[in-house]
Structure 1
């Protein structure tokens, strides 16, 4: 019982460092976020960081997994919602995200995976591979839903669902980048208009 409690405490501390550190790294970028700033945000001594992570790069790899695993699960659940048709699931999911940004008084978008992509993909093959794997899993989830839409007659029989999933996923990332630099939801609105047209039967 005591051993189990100690194990849970260790996991809780690791999760705390990952959560708080990911927030710091999202705001400041990989290079702008030092280990000292990460442990201060988590309220733990610096030695705790190196107890759980071999390096800042190791931390970033694990943080990516912690941040995006639940997001990918939510994405998969939304695109498997049997109450809606496959096409409706996709459109509704992205429409909800666009509405989320539109409701903000001050448009802000800080993307953990986007920041690491720009800063570290070339400098760290390990981080680059992790980022690519997460983005590919997202595209794979979308592809499965597109294939269901195709089977239901909501997409043309000759549509390349893998290519379409890749295009939509990349277009969404690009729209989010424009959101960040332009402080306007116009790119997201354009994305939604084009997505709806792409998914017409």
Structure 2
């Protein structure tokens, strides 16, 4: 790695490299040496960018949610789509990425939530805040669908969004356990039924 790389760029590079590895192996299953070797960063440099492995994990999750929420915002702002079409695109993308053979495309929340929530309170808080922002955006899409007439649902959009998101998280976990996409396809069918 070149020495003239800006500190924020190097930090981002380390986080991006780590996400690729940890998406497949988890947080505890990956040592810092593995990440730094893959990122081509000297071991001594790590603590220049992160105070500890926990601070590193927190930054990893913050970056993940920043990118994930930016993609959701792009979908929300895409012109010419109804609320129902935005939701359909979101769930179709989830189904596609969670059934792909590439572990790097998998949801980091699904991969790390159970593992790190008991290990690190700061990481648990990042997960809580990030998933709350996801459900808020889903609720916005549901509300938009109600307003534009593309959805006819009963219940508060925030509650529906939370229920659907929880269903998809559970389905993603079951798909990992069974090594079968049937739980995700069932989640898609249930989502379509719930949203009419």
Asked if Structure 1 and Structure 2 have the same fold, meaning a TM-score greater than 0.5 normalized by the shorter chain, the answer is yes
**CA RMSD across the alignment:** 2.2
Q: Which moved more, 1:151-160 or 1:9-18?
A: 151-160
Greater Cα radius of gyration, structure 1 or 2: 1
Of 172, 182, 186 in structure 1, the residue corresponding to residue 182 of structure 2 is: 186
Could you say which residue in structure 2 is the equivalent of 1:14? 11
Instruction: Write the distance in 2 (CA, Å) between the matches of 1:127 and 1:100.
Output: 24
- The normalised TM-score by structure 2 is 0.88
Q: In 2, distance between residues paired with 1:101 and 1:123?
A: 25
| Unpaired segments ≥5 residues, structure 2 | none
- Provide, for residues 93-142 of structure 1, a one-character-per-residue CA deviation record: whole Å limited to 9, x for no partner: 2124324555x4x4857442223211121221111000111111100101
2:82 alignment partner in structure 1: 85
Moved more, 90-99 or 46-55: 90-99
Superposed CA deviations along residues 46-84 of structure 1, whole A, max 9, x for unmatched, are: 111000000000001111122221221111221333312
Task: Indicate whether 1:41 and 2:38 are aligned.
Answer: yes
1:66 and 2:63 matched: yes
> Which runs of 4 or more aligned residues in structure 1 lie more than 6 Å from their structure 2 counterparts after TM superposition?
none
| Cα distance, 1:129–1:29 mapped onto 2, change above 3 Å | same
Aligned to 1:125: 121
Q: What are the superposed Cα offsets for residues 149-183 of structure 1, whole Å, 9 maximum, x if unpaired? A: 12223444752111000011111111111221212
Q: Is the 8 Å Cα contact of residues 17 and 39 (structure 2) preserved in structure 1?
A: yes
Give the distance between the partners of 1:199 and 1:72, measured in 2 at CA.
22
Which stretch has the larger CA shift, 142-151 or 75-84?
75-84
Please tell me whether the aligned partners of residues 98 and 172 of structure 2 are also in contact (alpha carbons under 8 angstroms). Answer: no
Q: What stretches of structure 1 of length at least 5 have no aligned partner?
A: none
Instruction: State the partner residue of 1:28.
Output: 25
Partner of 2:47: 50
The question of whether the paired residues in 2 share the 8 Å contact of 1:155 and 1:199 is answered with: yes
Query: Alpha carbons of 1:158 and 1:190: their partners in 2 closer, same or farther (altered >3 Å)?
Result: closer
**SS of residue matched to 1:31:** coil
> Which residue of the partner structure matches residue 163 of structure 2?
167
